[in-house]
Amino acid sequence: MSKLYVIATPIGNLEDISQRALRILKEVDLILCEDTRVTKKLLTRYEISKPTTSYHQHSKLNKNRYILKKLQENKDIALVSDAGTPTISDPGAKLIDYLVKEMAILEIISIPGPSAITAALSISGFSADKFVFFGFPPIKKKRKKFFQEVIDSKYTVVFYESPHRILKTLNELTGIDKQIVVCRELTKKFEITYRGKIKDTIKQLTPLLNGKVKGEFVVVINHD
């Protein structure tokens, strides 16, 4: 029976990959990558030489059919994203849904590992017994609703934000009197965590960003 492995990859530090993930990447017939150039860096680091092809948010039905055909030919396939766990604010769910519907027999196997959500939550100090993950704040439409849901949440909140919008987003949350943790560049060379009330983290971040918008961010907000 052919297998589709959904493999988590590092969110920055290339050492953060499991032995099992590396073994499977070496064993499969094909690796589906969000961006083949990004995954090539990981593969090169671990001297893995396997055929790759792209599978991303704009991939069409034809690509799904191609992948289906490969699986029907008994090929084993790995799905990875640029960083972290595939399908978490990343492509993959539609493909999996398609394959489940099209193939009577297919093993879909998770090779778990890093995700920016769990990495940020794990160092937040906030309860992660129950939490809500909101993805990225919408840019225009539904933005107000998004922030209202964040404000009203009874649980710890986690969301992603881009470097271009992190300050704008935090400024829209200054009405909340809750503890917040902003993780920047988790696992990377310039990793830094900002903690405090929202106003404090804005103060810490403003001079550092100083026009130069860089880095990747996860925001975690305590529930009370």
Of 12 and 70, CB closest to ligand SAM: 12
Beta strands in 126-188 (DSSP E): 131-133, 156-161, 179-184
Q: Which of residues 122-161 bind ligand SAM (CB under 6 A)?
A: 160-161
Cβ contact 71:30 at 8 Å: no
Of 70 and 78, CB closest to ligand SAM: 78
Q: Is 193 in the site for ligand SAM (CB under 6 A)?
A: no
Q: Is 48 in the site for ligand SAM (CB under 6 A)?
A: no
Among 143, 188, 197, 223, binds ligand SAM (CB under 6 A): 188
Q: Is 187 in the site for ligand SAM (CB under 6 A)?
A: yes
Q: Is 55 in the site for ligand SAM (CB under 6 A)?
A: no
Alpha helices in 15-132 (DSSP H): 19-27, 36-45, 61-72, 93-102, 116-124
User: Edge to edge, what strands does the sheet with 192-197 contain?
Assistant: 131-133, 156-161, 217-221, 179-184, 192-197
The minimum distance between CB 112 and ligand SAM, in angstroms, equals 11
Q: Which residues are within 8 A (CB) of 17 and not within 5 positions of it... i.e. 6 or more apart?
A: 9, 10, 42, 46, 113
The minimum distance between CB 201 and ligand SAM, in angstroms, equals 14
What is the rounded CA–CA span in Å between residue 66 and residue 54?
12
Structure tokens at 120: 């940020």
Considering only 19-27, 50-58, 79-87, 146-154, which stretch makes contact with ligand SAM by CB under 6 A?
79-87
Q: Judged by CB under 6 A, how many residues of this single chain contact ligand SAM?
A: 23
Structure tokens at 101: 């519907």
What is the rounded CA–CA span in Å between residue 50 and residue 48?
6
The minimum distance between CB 73 and ligand SAM, in angstroms, equals 29
Among 5, 30, 39, 90, binds ligand SAM (CB under 6 A): 90
Number of residues that this document lists for the chain: 224
Of 88 and 128, CB closest to ligand SAM: 88
**Positions that interact with ligand SAM (CB under 6 A):** 11-12, 81, 83-85, 88-90, 115-117, 160-162, 183, 185-188, 216-218
